[in-house]
Structure 1
Amino acid sequence: MTTLSLVVRPERAEDAPAIAGLEARAFGPGRFARTAYRLREGNPHRLDLGVTASVGSFLVGSVRMSPVRAGAAGFVMLGPLAVDPSFEGRGIGTALTRASLAAAGAAGEGVVILVGDAPYYARFGFAPVPPGRLVMPGPVDPARLLWLELAEGHAAGLSGLIEPRRG
């Protein structure tokens, strides 16, 4: 396998069309039915927390974060994390996740949640949300609802229904 000349950088507004194409290639039309997607729908992601990966002029990866809340407590939801299928298994998802978590921490976010594969995300410090603490607004396997506390004490009071945080 050859080494990629990968450029990881913050997302820019003009990346939106390429990211939409990437997500279509990576996830297909079934993505629109997933609870995590429905939660993000109509809830603009935080451009300042988005990260992209390119090889040359080709966008090969992207990760975004959306503002959410449970009750009055605000936090962010990581996703979607998309890697072009022809570039999977090359560490792009890892690089994107690390960069987005660093951006969230630098922005003062205290907790990041996601719906994903626990063994994959454990390497970044994510763990399953304790049963009954946070509830998604639709069907999600509870073992796939994960969180990471970026600032000590921020997860202590989090509980309730996860909803978009607008404004």
Structure 2
Amino acid sequence: MDGVSRETPEDWWEVEALYDLCFAPGRTALSSYRLRDGVAPIGALCLVWRDGGGVLGGAVRVWPVRVGGVAALLLGPVAVHPTRQGEGLGAFLIESVLERAAAEGHERVMLVGDAPYYSRFGFQALPGVEMPPPTNPERVLGVALTPGAWDGVAGAVTAARD
């Protein structure tokens, strides 16, 4: 599935409009957004997908966080335009991010989401990893990009503002 590229500054407003379309109006009130405030996303891992006519079909962003002081990536939000849903575009964007993150030497990725959907990408529950409230602990998931990367990693998830 061609059409994926890094998000550019020129894409920003269009990506924000896609997120507004796909998520509830109060999306920025979610606890995960507190981890993004004042922190730049990891540009090399923020991706957009456009069709052959240049129309935005999907986007994903990735942010640096710390879990108990250990570096991790926070994947999300991931959005696919309603007219493109069901085509595998969301899965393609997630797989693209995971491949690029591994190639860049990142060890662990986490997100807040539905285990039945994200388990196909290797995400599993992260017991002992505490997202800011209110977050359902059962929705806190992670995938190790290197074997054992989540072993012994626990504690509060905080913004990576170094």
- TM (normalized to structure 1)? 0.90
Bigger shift: 8-17 or 56-65? 8-17
Alignment partner of 1:45 is 2:45: no
User: What amino acid sits opposite 1:149 in the alignment?
Assistant: A
Aligned mates of 1:143, 1:72 — CA distance in 2: 21
SS in 2 for 1:163: strand
**Residues 13-53 of structure 1, C-alpha deviations (whole Å, 9 max, x = no match):** 32111111111111131202211122222222101111111
The aligned residue for residue 17 of structure 1 is 13
Equivalent of residue 103 in structure 1, options 94, 100, 121: 100
SS in 2 for 1:166: coil
The aligned residue for residue 113 of structure 2 is 116
Instruction: Map 1:136-155 to 2 at 5 A.
Output: 136-155=131-150
8 A contact 2:131–2:137 mirrored in 1? no
User: What amino acid sits opposite 2:112 in the alignment?
Assistant: V
8 A contact 2:46–2:59 mirrored in 1? yes
The aligned residue for residue 75 of structure 1 is 72
Between Structure 1 and Structure 2, how many residues are aligned? Answer: 161
User: What amino acid sits opposite 1:114 in the alignment?
Assistant: L
Tell me the percent identity: 40
User: What amino acid sits opposite 2:161 in the alignment?
Assistant: R
The aligned residue for residue 159 of structure 1 is 154
Aligned mates of 2:112, 2:12 — CA distance in 1: 22
Using the TM superposition, give the Cα deviation of residue 6 of structure 1 relative to its aligned residue in structure 2, in angstroms. 5.3
The aligned residue for residue 129 of structure 2 is 134
Equivalent of residue 30 in structure 1, options 26, 30, 33: 26
Runs of at least 4 residues of structure 1 off by over 4 A? none
Structure 1 gaps, min length 5: none
The aligned residue for residue 89 of structure 1 is 86
Structure 2 gaps, min length 5: none
Using the TM superposition, give the Cα deviation of residue 66 of structure 1 relative to its aligned residue in structure 2, in angstroms. 0.2
**Residues 36-88 of structure 1, C-alpha deviations (whole Å, 9 max, x = no match):** 12222222210111111112211110011100002331110000001112221
SS in 1 for 2:97: helix
Aligned mates of 1:102, 1:64 — CA distance in 2: 14
